[in-house]
Amino acid sequence: MSRFLAETLDVSRLPSFELVAADYEQILSERLASLRLRLADAGLDYDVGGLETDPLAILEQEDAYRELLERQAINDAGRSLTLAYARGAILDQLAATLFPTVGVRRIEGEADDRFRKRISLAAEAASPGTLGGYEYQALSAHPGVRDALALNHASGLVPPGEVRIQIVCERDQVEADVLAAVRAAVFDRDTAAASDVLSVSLATPVVYDVAATIEIARGPDPALVLAEIRKRLDAYADDRRRCGRVVAQSGLDAALHASAVERVVRTVPAADVDPGAAGVAVLGVVNLTLETPLV
């Protein structure tokens, strides 16, 4: 069972968009066409726009490039005002504008991605007793909360009337301190629904090992290739270290396929690692063997 049902939409995975078209060839074509019309109106026959050495064409190329940069700046500015793309102070302003009654504020030292997740949950936090609201309060209670997942009876893991808030802590945190902070936040009478019986616990770690034989091309330094592979594997494992996230075999293979890797034969794990909604997948022992073709 993967992460339970109605997970909050990850806005960072939505497709990008443009406010204005930003295509250099299209801009240049339109500018050259306009140039020909203006010259024709002036009684000048212009038929050398295709020559690389034509001065007017060279000027239009530069102007087209400058216009392209302006259009890209407009698109970047437009994207920066959305939750998916906002960064820094703009993200703070966006949170305050969208949810003034909730009072969403950045925790000191909080990264943009973590703050963005809390903002996406803030609408539910406006109403006591919602699952997303409990998750928001858990994430807001302590900067050491890496992930939070609220489960009710629909998950099949808790009885009707009960809500379990499961959390994953950052690695450098004292778990008891984090749990105490989260309990204080979600048990607050302004947060909890009177009918809910609440509990807070750590997600159950499900440790998995990785073993693989990796064939690399001749030439690159094996130590550098191995370091890059391990960096990619750790990044994937870190991304999956959240409540109920499945570690897929395909994801592991993709992480192991760094530059200069010809083939990956992974023997462990032999299947996807599904910790269930109550668990969190944690990377254990990594055993990577590099081989270089003899010919």
**b vs e for 253-278, b when ≥16 Cβ sit within 10 Å of the residue's Cβ?**
eebbebebbeebebeeeeeebbbbbb
Q: What is the pTM of this model?
A: 0.80
Residue 90 φ/ψ, nearest 5 degrees = -65, -40
Residues of the chain above pLDDT 70, percent: 95
Nearest one of 182, 177, 179, 203 to 192, comparing CA atoms: 182
What is the predicted pLDDT for the residue at 4? 45
Beta bridge partners of 204: 279
Tell me how far apart the alpha carbons of residues 193 and 10 are, in angstroms, rounded to a whole number. 26
Spatial neighbors of 165 by CB under 8 A, at least 6 apart, are 134, 135, 138, 148, 149, 150, 151, 182, 186, 198, 199, 200, 201
Half-sphere CA count of 208, side-chain side, radius 13 A? 27
What is the predicted pLDDT for the residue at 102? 84
39, 165, 199, 245, 276 from 151: Cα distances, Å: 70, 6, 10, 14, 12
101, 115, 130, 142, 239 from 86: Cα distances, Å: 21, 11, 26, 23, 21
Residue 274 φ/ψ, nearest 5 degrees = -110, 105
- Three-state secondary structure call for residue 291: strand
Domains of the chain: 1-41+52-85 (no CATH), 99-202 (3.30.360), 205-291 (no CATH)
Tell me how far apart the alpha carbons of residues 228 and 267 are, in angstroms, rounded to a whole number. 20
Alpha helices in 42-128 (DSSP H): 55-80, 88-98, 112-125
pLDDT confidence band for 45 (50 / 70 / 90): confident
- Per-residue pLDDT tens over the stretch 266-291: 999 999 999 998 999 999 999 999 98
**b vs e for 153-170, b when ≥16 Cβ sit within 10 Å of the residue's Cβ?**
eebebbeeeebbbbbbbe
Q: What is the DSSP string of 192-211?
A: S-TT-EEEEEEPEEEEEEEE
pLDDT confidence band for 194 (50 / 70 / 90): confident
- Per-residue pLDDT tens over the stretch 85-138: 999 999 999 999 988 888 889 999 999 999 999 999 998 888 888 899 999 999
Nearest one of 220, 37, 196, 176 to 131, comparing CA atoms: 196
- Three-state secondary structure call for residue 260: coil
